[in-house]
Structure 1
Amino acid sequence: MAELTTLARPYAKAVFGAAQDQNAVDPWDQALAFAAQVAADQEVKNILATPGLSEARKAELFAECFEEPLPEALRNFLLILAENKRLALLPEISSLFRLYRADFERTVNLKVSTAFEMTEEQQQKLIDALSKKLERKVALESTVDQSLIGGVVVDTGDLVIDASVKGKLAKMAKALGS
């Protein structure tokens, strides 16, 4: 996984910079997300692995998966990826692009698990507190996990805050066991 990220990073940075220059971050984000889904499809993986097809033809076949004709910049990007045998990196490129976008827009998507359904007021208080702490706009995805017993678990991808009763009990059991 780390190797894929390393290979995908220069492409993601370049395409994000181009999207910013074109004031087209959202369209690029959507196009890359779709391209990532296409690249992850097993039949497409088989086509990309076909040794008899030229890299240009692979890029053309890939572009044909889109419902509408592709903008020239995106077509060129796919061709560059194909020529470098990097079309399979599209899921990772899309993921990195989203991270660069979130950093640029100063946003963060949080997954919050609670033992009980949170009210709108509780969600808003949590959003306000985390926005202040993280200095970012917060988008909240809330789920209920009754095994937590009480409290909350906040997951940003990079950071996990476990303020659940289950988490505290696990820490206490570990401390008592050692």
Structure 2
Amino acid sequence: MAERSTLARPYARAVFELAGADTAERQRWSQRLQALAELVEHPELAQLLDHPAVTPQQLTELVVEALGDLGDTGRNLVRVLAENRRLRLAPELARVYEELRAEAEGVVDVEIVAAQPLEEAQQQRLSDALRQRLGKEIRLHSRVDESLIGGAVIHAGDTTIDGSVRGQLTRLSSALVH
């Protein structure tokens, strides 16, 4: 995973620099990269990506035709990725681009994994508290994992806050053993 991220990062930075400070252009690139990422994960195309008989030009034409209007820079990105046999990096490229965009726009994607579905009021309180703590706007994503028993685990960038019962039991068990 780290290697894919390392390979995708220069492409993501280049796209981010092409998008510039224009929020609408950044959004268009987000959509283009997400569409490209979804396309290269499609089983029929995935088979062709590493096939030695398929040329980079053929891959470029196929991807550009499937995605529609990408503009000149979008077509050039697909061409460069195809020529370097890096089209498989598209999902990672899209992820890294979104990280760069969020950082530039002062936004943090936060995932809350809770033992039970969170009510709207709970989500709002958590979002407000995280906004105050992190000093950035929060994009909240939540999902349910009943194996947590109770509580929640919050992932915000490199920060993880484990307030789950399962996490507390694990820490207690470790403390008793040592």
Cα shift at 1:74: 0.3
Residue of structure 2 equivalent to 1:84: 84
Deviations 1:120-160 (A, max 9, x none): 22221111110111111112223344443433211225222
SS in 1 for 2:153: strand
Q: Where does structure 2 lack aligned partners over 5 or more consecutive residues?
A: none
Q: Is the 8 A contact 2:32 2:70 kept in 1?
A: no
Q: Is the 8 A contact 2:38 2:91 kept in 1?
A: yes
The answer to whether the aligner puts 1:100 opposite 2:76 as a matched pair is: no
Structure 1 residues 58 and 143, CA, compared in 2 at 3 Å: closer, same or farther?
closer
Deviations 1:86-130 (A, max 9, x none): 212111111111111111111112221333443322221111110
Question: TM-score normalized by structure 1?
Answer: 0.89
Residue of structure 2 equivalent to 1:52: 53
Quote the Cα distance in structure 2 between the aligned partners of 1:127 and 1:47. 43
Q: Is the 8 A contact 2:127 2:140 kept in 1?
A: yes
Q: Is the 8 A contact 2:108 2:157 kept in 1?
A: no
Aligned residues: 177
The answer to whether the aligner puts 1:122 opposite 2:122 as a matched pair is: yes
Percent of residue pairs identical: 40
Structure 1 residues 89 and 149, CA, compared in 2 at 3 Å: closer, same or farther?
closer
Cα shift at 1:56: 1.6
Question: Residue type matched to 2:165 in 1?
Answer: V
Residue of structure 2 equivalent to 1:132: 132
Q: Is the 8 A contact 2:154 2:160 kept in 1?
A: yes
Quote the Cα distance in structure 1 between the aligned partners of 2:18 and 2:139. 26
The Cα RMSD (Å) is 1.9
Quote the Cα distance in structure 1 between the aligned partners of 2:60 and 2:146. 47
Quote the Cα distance in structure 2 between the aligned partners of 1:160 and 1:21. 30
Which consecutive aligned stretches of 4+ in structure 1 deviate over 6 angstroms post-superposition?
A: none
Q: Where does structure 1 lack aligned partners over 5 or more consecutive residues?
A: none
Cα shift at 1:21: 5.7
Residue of structure 1 equivalent to 2:39: 38
Higher mean Cα deviation, 104-113 or 148-157? 148-157
Quote the Cα distance in structure 2 between the aligned partners of 1:85 and 1:156. 33
Question: Residue type matched to 2:48 in 1?
Answer: I
